[in-house]
């Protein structure tokens, strides 16, 4: 160890990340203390990593963090996540950021302060590439002054911000590639809550727990879109057909429009969602490159006729991974067995049920026949704790049916996952 260059020791300490571990390790000898002072590039204070943070008074904790940060030079990554450590003095937190801002590339910030600290004003016009802010307020965005010329990833979690400031902030990041919005509190300026975001460089967006009247996203480079646990009246994506990954999970939306961006879609994953199949199909039907299709816990509109395997086989010839959750309602099976076209390229099949009945094993058998090159099948099921005698018989009959069925398909790997 004594022959290790001090720069290498700095890299070792940086991989520890946790400030407590870094300080303890740097006490090994004078050489390690030098590496800590001059060559440490990543440092993290996280109340979840070391619960004792929460037992220290905020004033003492401020002193410890200040001493630790001010002994370093050239920090590139700083993480200060203090969920339950009390409220910090704004002037102290500003001192931390002012000391490190010229070299910082990555900042993860969740520090309750009084008054609120304007992160954008302090870190704007610097070299930040990743910025994650949680449980704070962002107001009065000035894109000309608070500009982030190098920022590629922006995450806002439980942040209070107006629709206008959010739009201006995205505009102030000319190289932004990834945007994450988790349960933001959108300040209301009029009766209708509308968010309009525009970024020519944005490639990935994740939106969770947001409630809006209208959400319009315009970007020419979008590749990944994931909406989760959202309530939207209108969601519109405007782009140039670059979208490859589309996931929507437990979302309520009246009008969904991604039609002009779907030509290169490779993955469509829809779960816990109510849709009119014909409308949804019209949006994704041009996705001839689709490789994975997942429709799970999806409820079709009462007036719709459902979806059949023939439609899937004809429209998505490159499909390799198919996931369907079986549902039989009012005598209509939502994933019908009409037609004769095979799913030639499907190698992985995921099938599940919400309520099992005698028809499920027949449905599984017919799907196996339509996938001649299948390599793996995974069967998901929900089993209630209080099972009636009839339910136990149905499950036993299904198990016997699958055992007999899989003897015909010895080359196919079978997995069961029950909850």
257: enclosing H helix or E strand: strand 252-257
Residues 88-123 have pLDDT tens digits of 999 999 999 999 999 999 999 998 888 999 999 999
Instruction: Give Cα 9 distance to the centre of its chain.
Output: 34
Are 308 and 332 in contact by the 8 Å Cβ rule? The answer is no
Burial 94-104 (b: 16+ CB within 10 A, else e): bebbebbbebb
Alpha helices (runs of H) in 85-226, residue ranges in sequence order: 90-100, 119-123, 163-171
> What is the overall mean pLDDT for the chain?
88
Structure tokens at 176: 């932004």
Alpha helices (runs of H) in 5-113, residue ranges in sequence order: 6-16, 19-26, 30-38, 58-70, 90-100
Residues 60-70 have pLDDT tens digits of 999 999 999 99
Edge-to-edge strand order for the sheet containing 252-257? Answer: 194-198, 211-218, 231-238, 252-257
Highest mean pLDDT among 17-26, 300-309, 393-402: 17-26
Burial of 226 by CB count in 10 Å (0-12 exposed, 13-18 middle, 19+ buried)?
A: middle
| Peptide bond preceding 115 in cis form (omega within 30 of 0) | yes
From CA 255, how far away is CA 205, in angstroms rounded?
19
Are 416 and 399 in contact by the 8 Å Cβ rule? The answer is no
Structure tokens at 391: 């339910």
Q: Residue range 203-218: average pLDDT?
A: 96
Confidence of residue 216 (pLDDT cuts 50, 70, 90): very high
Of 50, 44, 125, 111, residue with least CA distance to 83 = 111
Q: Residue range 77-89: average pLDDT?
A: 88
Pairing of strands 335-336, 307-308: parallel
Q: Residue range 317-338: average pLDDT?
A: 75
From CA 365, how far away is CA 402, in angstroms rounded?
8
Lowest mean pLDDT: which of 16-25, 163-172, 393-402, 406-415?
Answer: 393-402
Residues 258-299 have pLDDT tens digits of 878 888 999 999 998 877 777 787 888 889 899 999 988 887
User: pTM for the complete prediction?
Assistant: 0.91
Pairing of strands 413-418, 376-381: parallel
């Amino acid at each position: 160890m004594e022959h290790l260059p001090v720069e290498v020791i700095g890299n070792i300490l940086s991989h520890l990340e946790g400030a407590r571990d870094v300080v303890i390790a740097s006490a090994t000898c004078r050489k390690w203390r030098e590496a800590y002072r001059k060559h440490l590039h990543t440092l993290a204070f996280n109340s979840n990593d070391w619960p004792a943070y929460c037992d220290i008074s905020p004033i003492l904790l401020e002193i410890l963090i200040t001493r630790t940060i001010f002994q370093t030079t050239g920090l590139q990554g700083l993480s200060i996540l203090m969920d339950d450590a009390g409220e910090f003095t704004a002037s102290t937190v500003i001192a931390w950021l002012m000391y490190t801002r010229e070299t910082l590339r990555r900042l993860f910030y969740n520090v309750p302060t009084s008054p609120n600290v304007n992160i954008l004003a302090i870190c704007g016009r610097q070299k930040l590439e990743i910025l994650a802010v949680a449980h704070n307020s962002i107001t009065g965005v000035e894109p000309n002054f608070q500009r982030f010329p190098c920022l590629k990833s922006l995450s806002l979690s439980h942040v209070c911000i107006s629709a206008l400031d959010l739009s201006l902030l995205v505009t102030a990041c000319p190289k932004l590639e990834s945007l994450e919005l988790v349960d933001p509190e959108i300040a209301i300026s009029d009766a209708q809550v509308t968010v309009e975001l525009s970024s020519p460089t944005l490639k990935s967006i994740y939106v969770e727990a947001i409630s809006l009247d209208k959400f319009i996203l315009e970007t020419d480079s979008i590749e990944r879109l994931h909406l989760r646990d959202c309530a939207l009246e209108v969601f519109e994506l405007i782009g140039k057909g670059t979208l490859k990954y589309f996931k929507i999970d437990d979302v309520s939306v009246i009008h969904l429009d991604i039609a002009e961006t779907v030509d290169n879609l490779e993955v469509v994953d829809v779960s816990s969602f109510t849709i009119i199949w014909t409308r949804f199909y019209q949006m994704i039907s041009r996705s001839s490159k689709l490789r994975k299709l997942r429709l799970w816990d999806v409820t079709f509109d009462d007036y719709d006729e459902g979806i059949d395997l023939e439609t899937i086989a004809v429209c998505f010839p490159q499909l390799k991974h198919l996931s369907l959750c079986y549902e039989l309602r009012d005598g209509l099976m939502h994933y019908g067995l009409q037609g004769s076209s095979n799913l030639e390229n499907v190698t992985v099949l995921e099938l599940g049920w919400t309520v099992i009945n005698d028809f499920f094993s027949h449905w599984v058998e017919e799907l196996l026949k339509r996938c001649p090159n299948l390599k793996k099948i995974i069967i998901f099921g929900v089993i209630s704790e209080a099972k009636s005698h009839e339910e136990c018989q149905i499950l036993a009959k299904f198990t016997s049916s699958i055992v007999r069925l899989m003897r015909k398909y010895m080359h196919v790997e079978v997995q069961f996952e029950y909850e």
